Amino acid sequence: MRAALSLILAACLAASFGTPGHAANVTTDADVAAIRQVVQQFQTAIVAHDGKTLGSLFMPEGGAWRSALDETTYAAAKSRNPAAPRTMPSTWQDFAGFVQRSTKPIEERFHDVRIDTNGTVASVWFDFEFLEEGKVTNRGSETWQLVRTDDGWKINAMLYSIGH
CATH code of residue 104: 3.10.450.50
How far apart, in whole angstroms, are the C-alpha atoms of residue 143 and residue 127? 9
* In-domain check, residue 83: yes
CA–CA dist 134, 160 (Å, integer): 21
In a domain, 16, yes or no: no
Residue 21, in any domain of the structure? no
Contact 160, 142 (CB under 8 A): yes
Confidence class of residue 25 from pLDDT cuts 50, 70 and 90?
Answer: low
Which percentage of the chain shows pLDDT scores above 70?
84
- Band of residue 2 on the pLDDT scale cut at 50, 70, 90: low
Residue 7, pLDDT > 50, answer no
Q: Into how many domains does the chain fold?
A: 1
Task: Give me the pLDDT at residue 9, please.
Answer: 41
What domain range is 125 assigned to? 27-162
The helix or strand, by DSSP H or E, that contains position 158, with its residue range, turns out to be strand 152-162
| Main-chain phi, psi angles of 61, to 5 degrees | -145, 160
Ordered strands of the 152-162 beta sheet: 87-89, 64-69, 152-162, 135-149, 121-132, 106-117
In the chain, count of helices (H) and strands (E)?
5, 6
pLDDT band at 14 (very low <50, low <70, confident <90, very high): very low
- 129 falls in which pLDDT band (50, 70, 90)? very high
So what's the pLDDT on residue 16? 43
